[in-house]
Amino acid sequence: MTPPPLSEVEITEAEQQLGVSFPQEYRDYLREVSAGGALARLERTGRGWWWAGNDEEMRTLLAVAFPHPDSYAEADDELVEREPQPEAFEDETAYAVAWRAWADEADRFEELKTAGSVAVQEHGCGFSTLLVLAGPLAGTVWWDGRATCDRIVLLSLDHVGDAHPVRFGEWLSHDSWALLPPDWGPRGAPVPVIPR
């Protein structure tokens, strides 16, 4: 059953609790279409407003600007290069301690890659569509493909020409799979997220 839309009062309350302003197109969706439906449901929880299926531990990063993936590519490569290797340690305990510290740093780095965004749609196999809510890219929609390629990629109407990320309203008319870069396999025909 599709959840009913939210009222303007509920949307404003959610924005205030979460510390972000929703893009106008997303506000319109919440108010005119549904609090969820084809998207992750925005609902009241025991800790306040949050999206079903999203990790509530990410709440602290929601108001932090979403980083463009190009901005951390070099740091990502450097982190991978620093992974401790067993042969560099005299005993297994020292290696385990060093590796755990590195893994904690890597986990935090991964969390920061989706700061300022929320998964609005899950696609299975670890893939999801992210709606950016904070920073210069607010209102745009991205593909979280880290499950297979360790990358977050832009969803675009034109990957050959002026590849810019789609905005939420554009995405509703196309579906994520149809907006992926060509190297993600054959592009499917646009199937609207919300049939009109």
Q: Which helix (H) or strand (E) holds 15?
A: helix 8-18
HSE at residue 33, side-chain half, CA atoms within 13 A, is: 19
- The tens digit of pLDDT for each residue in 67-83 reads 999 999 999 999 999 99
Please give the Cα distance from 142 to 71 (Å, whole number).
15
Which pLDDT band holds residue 185 (cuts at 50, 70, 90)? low
- Contacts for 144-147: CB closer than 8 Å, 24+ residues apart: 144/114, 144/119, 145/184, 146/110, 146/113
Q: What is the pLDDT of residue 184?
A: 76
Average pLDDT over residues 16-43: 96
Q: What is the pLDDT of residue 155?
A: 94
